[in-house]
Structures are given as structure tokens and as C-alpha cells.
Amino acid sequence: MARNIGPEDRIVRIVVAIALALIIYFAPLTGIAAIIAGIVAVYLLLSGLLTRCIFYQLAGVDTSVQEQPYSTTDDRSGL
């Protein structure tokens, strides 16, 4: 599977995963809520570290490609 997560998306995923892990650890989450939050945190952390997302691939989304500004010599010469 090719990389499909860009650098900004990676940072957001890792920060959210750490925040969810801290909420699970410090907040009184129990039962199903703690399990679901833990699964989401692990998925976000792994997808952020590996730069691959299954859901992005299914949807055809690719945030790893950054659009480059187009510049020609005409732009610099004022034409």
C-alpha cells in the first residue's frame, strides 16, 4: 500500500492519538467507551507513524501530494 498521509495529517493523527490515550488513562472511562477510544487511538497512532490509511485508500484520498506553485519566466518578467 502506498503512502497517502501528508505531514500535516500525520501530526494531527499522532497528537489526537496521544490525547485519547491520556483521556483513557486519566479520565474515568470504563467499559465499551474505553475500549473504543483505545482502538481509535491505536489506529490513529499507527496510521500516523506508517503514513498509510486504509480509509483514505478506500475513498481515494491522498494528502501526501502537495501542490507546487506554478512559476514561469513570464511571471518574473511582468508579462
Question: Which H or E run contains 26?
Answer: helix 7-26
Number of domains in the chain: 1
74: in domain:
no
What was the pLDDT predicted at 47?
93
Residue range 16-74, pLDDT digits in tens: 999 999 999 998 888 899 999 999 999 999 999 998 999 988 898 888 876 556 665 55
C-alpha cell at 35: 475500549
List, in order, residues 6 or more apart from 64 with CB less than 8 Å away.
3, 4, 5, 6, 51
Q: Give the domain range for residue 59.
A: 7-63
Of 1-10, 12-21, 70-79, which range is least confident?
70-79
37: Cβ contacts below 8 Å, ≥ 6 apart: 20, 23, 24, 29
Is residue 71 a part of any domain in this protein? Answer: no
Mean pLDDT (whole number) for 74-78: 58
pLDDT one-digit tens code per residue, 35-49: 999 999 999 999 999
Among candidate residues 8, 1, 4, 15, the one with its CA nearest the CA of residue 44? 15
